[in-house]
Structure 1
Amino acid sequence: MSDWNEFRIVLAVARAGSLTGAAKSLGHDHSTIFRWLNLLEKRRGVQLFDRTSSVYTPTDAGLQMVMAAERLEAEIIALDRSITGQDARLSGKLKITSSETLAYRILNEVLADFCEAHPGIEIELLVDNRQLDLLRREADIAIRATRPHEGELFGRKIASTPWTFYGSRTYLTKRGRPATLNSLAGQPVIGWESTASAAASVWLTDNIAASAFAYRSSSLINQLMAVKAGVGLALLPCYLGDLEPDIERIFEPLDELTRELWLITHKDLRNTARVRAFFDHVGGGLLARRDVLEGVLSQQQTQTIASE
């Protein structure tokens, strides 16, 4: 087999487990992937997938091709990183991934300064709470609340990011301020959807009675807006809640939920001119806002910053 596209199709179907998922990842429609796969199997005279309803499971022959495709993909991505890593131009595209809360509250202001300083660099921001795979070039740079553990990654710690509970001033005046975490049982709590795996979601499940949850959302920004509307109390990162003038912290930050904010890239890309410029400029801009990120300013001071 000499056509990389054949391997890409098989790999995409195997990873997604369906034609619909493969079509989405490859940027084609379902019928096109179905036709290509049928032609591939007919041309090679072998069945590559067992079809059970809409689920596609690789056969032994299909699994062999998937494993070969993964090796080819790794080689192609490594070559791409190596070539990109030698790029000395302050131009081209940078694909960045960040959580929705950081993008909403802090990052755009820093990116505006970066774009003004480097007009030849095009920023593509992927706002996603999932950890996109830097090894597979799903993004060039990640700003995430996790220390990098993979040996191929290079990172710079920006700040610690504490979390605590918030409520609107109107709500707290009407319902009263809980004195302890135990007293949250008598308050409506805003939480994540039941399938969420975020650390804050797991903590809420382990520490708050299920009967206390009055509202759930997969979006922290939506949870913030629900707090502002007076729906109930929510667990939020301090850099998100502190900058809102009409909500207040209920408790001091919870030590067990404090995370680390890191700027991360693949070590092969760290010397690329545009990546290095991003680390210097955006990393510096985030460090300049470390007091906000770490929630060490009083809420009044933080809200003064937000209004300026």
Structure 2
Amino acid sequence: MDWDDVRHFLALARARSVRAAGAALGVSHSTVARRVEALEARLGVKLFDRHRDGYLLTDAGHEMVAGAERVEREMATLERGVAGQDARLEGAIRVTCTDPFIAKILVRSLASLCERHPGIELELSADAKYLDLSKREADVALRALALGASPPEHLIGRRLVPIVLCSYVGKAHAGRLDPDRGGGPTRWLGSNLDKVMQELVGSSSHPDVPLWGTFESMAVMIEAAHAGLGLIMVPTYAGDPDPELERLAKPDLRHVGDFWLLGHRDLRDNARLRAAREVITRGLLERLPLFRGEGDGWSENATLRTEVAPSARRARS
């Protein structure tokens, strides 16, 4: 049985759409369909029923999933074992992080490594999607973990910098919106984590200010603050460098989590990944004051609290 056929079968079983499976594998939807049809012909059994709503596993397909996933794990282990011995400073480095603000820092940190070693090819994913390090969907991950949390045992990790929330307002709207500067009616801008936001607002200096709207990404929330739609709470690494944002008079700096740099144990000795972890570590630690929120106003109007609401802890773990 061809492993590539099995890989295409698993992708389709998970996505239920040839287009989505193709996107996940980086191939065309016709390639997925052709591979799966070839596998069905070779096995002499139908693995999927084709419906208007997508591809649904047959009983035989369901039985095959568990075995295919075991093969997938074994192939991933084999691949990591070989890659872990690679002493070359060339090849792909797949890095994943939480958001574009962190990605900007990582790109600047990794640029010198790529310049020194032109054979390195950088692949960077900048969103909250969980990429599996065991399957080598990514090689190096910078992930946000709740206070006191630790990474899974199969990963190597180092806690690097804190995640400190701060309250901001669009600079052009501070006089109108900041409650402590004589502002009129105001509101907090909400996210899709409604319960977390409610608890954060409830423990802020302005617990009676209502929540309004839903802004799913930090970048969109910041744009809404620029436009004067309301007050926001975002990490200092995103808020402090923004010239169009200003801290509230009572900024409520709160240590809510930490960034950890993670990799798989099997890839500990891979030369290019080790070099990438080193430059990322150095780049973030050089910016420690930014992550701690030690910018303008730190000494006179900010006190750092270590705090995270119960539901926020669950959401980040």
TM over 0.5: yes
Deviation for aligned residue 1:292: 0.8
In 2, Cα distance between the equivalents of 1:211 and 1:30?
47
State how far apart, in whole Å, the 2-side matches of 1:91 and 1:28 are.
24
The answer for unaligned runs of 5 or more in structure 2 is 202-207, 300-317
2:107 maps to which residue? 108
Correspondence for 1:152: 154
Partner of 2:309: none
Tell me the equivalent position of 1:304: none
Matched, 1:204 2:206: no
Assess if the C-alpha contact under 8 Å between 1:77 and 1:137 holds in 2: yes
In structure 1, C-alpha distance between the alignment counterparts of 2:59 and 2:21, rounded to whole Å: 20
Once structures 1 and 2 are overlaid, which stretch shifts more, 63-72 or 110-119?
110-119
Return closer, same or farther for 1:186/1:47 CA change in 2, 3 Å cut-off. farther
Residue 125 of structure 1: aligned partner: 124
Unpaired runs of 5+ residues, structure 1, are 302-308
Q: Which residue, 226, 246, 249 being the options, matches 1:248?
A: 246
Shift of 1:273: 0.9
Identity, % of aligned positions: 37
How far 1:51 sits from its partner (Å)?
A: 4.2
Cα distance in 2 for partners of 1:285, 1:103 equals 11
In structure 2, how many angstroms separate the alpha carbons of the residues matched to 1:51 and 1:273?
A: 46
Aligned to 2:280: 282
1:28: how far off?
3.4
Instruction: Give the corresponding residue for 1:178.
Output: 179
Q: CA deviation at 1:298?
A: 2.9
Q: Output the CA distance in 2 between the equivalents of 1:288 and 1:211.
A: 37
CA distance in 2, matches of 1:135, 1:32: 25
Matches within 5 A, 1:1-308: 2-103=1-102, 105-146=104-145, 148-175=150-177, 177-179=178-180, 186-192=185-191, 196=192, 202-205=195-198, 212-214=211-213, 216-250=214-248, 251-253=250-252, 255=254, 258-299=256-297
Q: Distance in 2 between matches of 1:204 and 1:236?
A: 11
Query: CA distance change for structure 1 residues 43 and 83 in 2, over 3 Å: closer, same or farther?
Result: closer
In structure 2, relative to structure 1, the CA distance for the partners of 1:259 and 1:38 (3 Å cut) is: same
| CA displacement 1:25-58 (0-9 Å, x = unmatched) | 2333334433443443344332212445324332
Separation of aligned partners in 1, 2:116 and 2:195: 41
> Once structures 1 and 2 are overlaid, which stretch shifts more, 134-143 or 224-233?
224-233
**Range that drifts further, 233-242 or 100-109:** 100-109
8 Å CA contact 2:92–2:122 kept in 1: the answer is yes
The alignment yields a C-alpha RMSD, in angstroms, of: 2.8
Structure 1 position 243, deviation (Å): 1.1
TM-score (norm 2): 0.80
Q: Secondary structure at the match of 1:162?
A: strand
In structure 2, how many angstroms separate the alpha carbons of the residues matched to 1:44 and 1:211? 60
Contact 1:10/1:65 (8 A) holds in 2: no
SS at match of 1:33: helix
2: CA distance, partners of 1:171 / 1:211? 18
Structure 1 length-normalised TM: 0.82
User: Following the alignment from structure 2 to structure 1, what is the Cα–Cα distance between the partners of residues 103 and 174?
Assistant: 25
Match of 2:157, as an amino acid?
G
* Structure 1 residues 37 and 115, CA gap change in structure 2 (3 angstroms): closer
**Aligned-partner Cα distance in 1 for 2:56–2:150:** 32
Confirm or deny: 8 A CA contact 1:85 1:268 kept in the other structure.
yes
- Which amino acid is 1:229 matched to? A
Task: Write the deviation string for residues 89-141 of structure 1: whole angstroms up to 9, x where unpaired.
Answer: 12221111112243355223222233334433221111122221111111000
